[in-house]
Structures are given as C-alpha cells and as structure tokens.
Structure 1
Amino acid sequence: MNTRFHKTLFGQVVIALVLGVAVGVFWPEFAAKLKPFGDGFIKLIKMIIAPLVFCVVVHGICSTGDLKKVGRVGGKALLYFEVVTTFALALGILLAHVFQPGVGMNVNVASLDASALAGYTAHIAQATSTTDFIMKIIPATFFDAFAKGDILQVLLIAVLFGAAVAALGERGRPITAAIDGLSHVFFKLIGFIVKLAPLGVLGAIAFTVGKYGVGSLKQLGMLVALFYLTCTIFVIGVLGFILRMAGFNIFKLLRYLREELLVVLGTASSDSVLPQVMRKLERMGIKDSTVGLVIPTGYSFNLDGFSIYLTLAAVFIAQATNTPLSTVDLLTILAISLLTSKGAHGVPGSAIVILAATLSAVPAIPAIGLVLLLSVDWFMGMARALTNMIGNCVATVVIGVWEKDVDRQLAHQVLNREIVVDLNDTDTEEHEHTPQAPVLIPATA
C-alpha cells in the first residue's frame, strides 16, 4: 500500500500519542487543559453506541430467523466468558504471588490520606448485589435504556424487539429493512466521528502525562510493569492459544485491529472503538447476528483485563500493607471478583469502585490501601481497556467458529491482507457476495 503513513488513521494516532506525551512532559499545565478533547471524543462515540447496538442486534436476529440459535449463541458466549474470566482472575493472583510487587513497601495504613477517595465514596456506596445487578438490566422504560446508554439494557430491548419482529414473518420485513438502513447511517456517522480520533488521543494522553507525570510510575512501577506483563501473557498465551484452537493467529488479528488498539491505548476506554470493532469483525466474515450479541454482552461480562486488575491489585494492597492472606482469603477474592467484575463496564475510575466492593468481602485487606493505586490507575486503565477489547474480539471469533458463523476463507484473506477492509463503504452486500474484490483502506478506516 502506497498510502503515506501520516495519512492513515494508524499513523495519525501514533503521531498524536507522541505529541501528547511531549506536551504532557514539557507543558504539563497546558496539557491538563486538553482533557476535554479526549472526553469529547469518547462522548461522541458513546452517543452512537446504544442505537447502533440496537440496530445491529435486531437486524442480526431478524436475518437469522432462528430464535433458538440466538439463545444458543448467547448461552455459549456466557459460558465462554465465565471460563476465560476465571483464567484471568487466577492469573492475576498467581503472578502477584510469584513477583510480589507490594512486598517491601511496608505502608503504614494510618499514614494514608482517606480524603483521596472522597470522589469515589458515593459510587462505592452504590456497589450492589447480584440480584440488584440483574434487576438493573431491565430498564424503567423502552427509551430509558437509550437515554442512559446502558449497553446491557439496550441489548435486552434489542433481543426482545428482534424476536418480536422475526415472529411477524413477512409483515416484519419492512421493519427489518428500515433498521438495516438506519444501521448504515450510524456506521457512516461513526466514520465522520472517527476522523477526530487523533485529536481525542492527543488530549487524553497529554492530560494523563501532564497531571500525573511519568514520574508517578516510579514508586509503583513494579506493579504497573507486572500488570502489563500479566496482560501480555494472557493475550498471547491464553487468548492466543484459544484463537489458535479456532484456526486463527492472534498476531494477525492484532495487526488487523491496530488502529482501534492505538485509540484504546490513548483514551484508556474500549468504548471509543466499539462500533468500529463490530464493523471490522463483520467485514472479516463473522455474521452480524453473532457480532451483535457477543460484543455488547462481552463489554459487561467478559472484562478480562479488568479481572486481572482486580485480583492483582487486591493481593498487591495486602502485600504493601503487610497483610497476610490465607488460602481461604485468596479463594474468596477469586469468587467475589467473578461477581463484582460483571457490569464494571465504563470509563477509567470504575476500577477503584469495583475493587472497593471486592475488598469489602475480605475484611483482612484494608480498603484504604486503594489510595496507593490512584496515581497509576489511568496508566493501568490503558492495559485494562486493551485487554478487555482484545478478549471480546477473540470471543466473537471463537463463538463464530463454534456456531459455524464465520466465513473462514474471507477471514483468512482479510487477516493475511489479501483483502483490505474499508469501513467507510456501507455497501456490505457487495463484499459479502464478492469477497475476492480488493477494498482499499481510507485514511480514517
């Protein structure tokens, strides 16, 4: 491809990352004022997510026409999520014990400033039980889910609506066609917004470096480095193995998603690329019904990076405060984390809230130890978001293979760069029936 580096989205985001770090290092006060660029970009994306997920899921169910299949895909997805999430949680505990990042810090709990957690107190109080979590999936009204942008609530409405339209048979075809057309409009709108990705990344990374400074990593550098190492081992080792068993290569998938990965790295939020990821997986040859069910569900139930963080951070706090943990305590952390990690989807900051809820079940670990993580939470949030996104993409491929909903020939051609995907091209039918036709990536693909 002869497209110049600086004209591609990948190149522009790389340049934005470098500039953001430079601005944060040399002009920290100015960099701190750039936060609205990152926040604004994420809000623009979130504005589209709810209606887009609704359209994709409804159209996927209607085009499938098999409600039993929809239930089967959902069931397999949840089973897969639980198994893989358990691996992630266990890996966090294992590596925390092997490398012991908190040992030697000898933190005096009485010396920690509890006021630093003041901004999280109200949210920590909202930590709910499993029953409350399930009840919250049901929206107050049909439109309330869209107003709040709650993905699980929108997904519930979409599944019910799609099932109802499919049950209408021929009478439901005009509705299906209209929703499909509307989804193309939303994807085109996403194409416009994505052009702002470099600006959003620049603002987010500049703010992070300017406010916290790279120097903040020195004290807790071991923890941050270990977290990134653990996520890398999980992605390449665990997810790579799972994907290989499905017949695909993890490195080729990561290369295919490189633009989205960079945006997530810069914004520390997987929300910023959800629509693009769904589109890319569809263009890779996975049926929209599978993509529409697995990706949105995974954003709440398959938070692999978040799961690693919960157990690793919990053990770290215990080590840093010289709190001994028994085998029962470790198993309790693992069991509680399986519950609290669900529904933790959100922007960075929710990690502290959910971790607090997890620690409340293990009284031996001082919750005030959360203060130790505040200065590096954003840096760890980058790896959390990246791992979450990769985990959900792998899950979609695996469930697609499990259900035989993947065009393997097209998928391998795309991953091998024999076919290059154009996200701005909304004429999906043409590419579904003529996958050999090359498609060029535009600068904002």
Structure 2
Amino acid sequence: MKKLFTTLSNIWKIEDLRVRILNTLLFLLIYRIGSFITLPGVNPLALESQQKAGILGLLNMFAGGSFSRASIFALGVMPYISASIVVQLLGIAIPYFQKMQKEGESGRKKLNQITRYLTVVITFVQGAAYARTQIPVEAKVLGEPWFTVATMVILTAGTLFVMWLGEKITDKGIGNGISLIIMVGIIAQLPAGIISEFQSRLGNGGIIAFIVELIALFFIVVFTILIVQGVRKIPVQYAKKIVGNKQYGGVRQYIPLKVNAAGVMPIIFAQAIMFIPATVGQFFPSAQGSFLTSLSNYTSVAYNVTFAILIIAFTFFYTAITVNPVQMSDDMKKNGGFIPGVKPGATTGEYIDAVISKITLPGAVFLAIIAILPSIANVLGINSQFAHFYGGTSLLILVGVVLDTLQQVESHLLMRHYDGLMKTGRLRGRTPIASGTGAAGSTI
C-alpha cells in the first residue's frame, strides 16, 4: 500500500504527466456536462423515461445515457466508430484504400479525412432517424420539418465536437481520446445499475445474493484481463554484426502474439448480424416463426448459441485479415532475424501461422463466453441494467481502455526512472517487437 501511494505521488511530481491527466479530466468533464444538455425544441419533461433495450440500449450505454435524454451528444462517437469500421472494411476489399494504408503518414491522413466526411453523412442519416423515431410527438416544441432539420444539424455538430474532444485528449491528454469517451459513458451507467440491483435484492431480502454478484463480477473482470493481456511469445534471434570495433545484433527478442488479437470487433460484427431477425420480424410480421422469434430474444438458447458461433467465426476471420504471418517472416528475414530451430522465409511464415491458429481457438471460445455472460446473468435474475457489466462489448472496452491508459502512465514513469504501476510484460534481456498487421487497427 505504501508503495502504491509513493507511485501515485511520483505521478503528480512529473509536470508533463500531471498536466496531461488534468487535461484529460477537463475534456471528459466537458463531455459529461454536454451529455445533459437537451436538444433545442425538445421538452425534457415530456420525454419517456423507459429503459432502452437491444441495440438502442447498447447505443445509450456507449453515449453515457445521452441517447435516452435527447442530448446534443445523443449519438456520441458511434457514427465515427461506424465510419471507421466501414473504412477498415474498404481497406480490405478495395485496392485504392489498400494503397493508402501502405503510404504511411500521408495515407493515414487521407483515410482520416475520408472517415470524417463519412462520419458527417452517417450522422445526418442517424440524426434524421433519431428525430423521427426516438423523440415523442408531445415532447417536440418545434413543428416539422424544421425540428428534424435542426436536430440533424445539432446532432452532427455534437458528434463532430465529441470527435474533436477525443483528438484533444489523445494529443494533450493521456490515453486514446475516443476510447476514453466511450469508457466514461459506460462507467456513467454503472452506479445506476448497482443501485437498481441493490434495491431489487433489498426488496427480496437477498443482500447475500447481491454480495455474491459483486464477487462474481470481480472474478469475471479478472478473467477478462487475462484474456486481453494474454500473449504467446515467439523468440526471435538476430545475427551478430561487427562494424569497426562495435558489435550489433545478437540480441534475443520476441514476437508477442495476442490470444485475442481481434479485440471487440467480432462481438460488434456478430451483434450487427443478430439484430437482423428482429428487424425482419418488424417489417414482415407474417415471416415471424418460432425460430425467428427465439433469435430475436437475447436470453434464448438459440440466440446465444448462434451468437457464440458467429463470434468464433468472426474472430478467426478478423485475425486472418489483421495479422499477416508472411509479412512478419519477410520483415524478420530483411533484418537478419530468425526463430531458433525454424528456417527463415516461407517456413517461418507457416510456423507463425500455425501458432496463431492454435492460440486463436481458445481466444475465440473465451471471447464467446464473455459475450454471452450478460444473457446468462439476466436469466439468473440479475437486473438487465447491471447484467451488461458481466461481459460483452462494454466489459471488454472498459478493461482494454483502462489497461492501455495505465500502460501509457507507466511508460511516463519508467522514462523518468520511477517504478511503474504494472509489473507484467517486462523481461530482463528480452524486448518485444511489433507483430506485422495487414490492416489498420480498431479505434476501440
């Protein structure tokens, strides 16, 4: 405990780190204040206070409750996330975007510009749909079509402002700004979920059950951290080179292959597909059957089995398109590196590919288990508002963002010869080398 307080005091002593943390807190505070500002032309007293469910509940959680409050930040950064995913997929399928991905910094700037333009288009469309479907008629003060037009413009400006806040956090703060904004929105829903669950257990006389739920949540978080942090380290030896009186190379490094290299993307893709049955059922009521109805119910066995299978399939798919063993082996060969006991070149690529296939299967299964845990928790009687934190996208984002931010804080401490907050991942005499990727990484 004393060492922890010493480390925290060291963080405050470093001026650059202190300023970055204060900037981050300030920008996040501005975002949270804006999430409570209601859209002009909307009577907040006439808004429905019912809990959002399905994809709307997911959007409301990512937006920190702004979606249900009809805030100027109601759409949050989700249009930007959607645009980023579309651009990533275009980079896989279209050669023009693949070329830009390989152009380095100039290509990255072009892709960012395209992503911003696409974000404006998506926000305009979603803003119109939000004004038409999510705000009741009795809450609208302005008449149509002026209300829809004004809402589209304001929501677009709000999303762009949130994007700007995220970029400022990344530049002048600590951590990834967009990810931190999403994380803060998710955490903002946690107190209400805990209070709601406590009140429901208190009414049923189940305080012990509530304590057991908190303990179970703690172990689930620990389990998720193990999945997110888990890596398979492949040793790489570099040949010695003598130039003049100095020796270069000869150092053993390693390639850290993550057990869950796909992150939360498989869950996002699988969830998008699982919303199709419910959408088909709404537009074509006659097509509803027993199986289609069960696929629309996220607590049913058919839904969870199908969801888990899709996650496993998308994990293999996304890992295959983002991790390129051939590129990794070529990079090692160019730099005079080799894996002990494995021939350089094509054999090295096959070896890395085999290792990736072996570690991806357990990673995909564990990811599927984490994804269906909220449904299991809901079936066991846990309030749906609190069950969201037992797994799924929200828990993975929370764990991933917190670990990434802590690692950045630790890097600032280690650069100034202070003890870090995290002790894992550092081996004496062995340093990690980046693994090659074939596509841009996820924003989340």
Q: Which has the higher strand share?
A: 2
Q: Quick one: higher RCO (CA 8 Å, sep 6+), 1 or 2?
A: 1
- Which is higher, the Rg of structure 1 or of structure 2? 2
TM-score by length of 2: 0.30
Q: Which has the higher helix share?
A: 1
TM-score by length of 1: 0.30
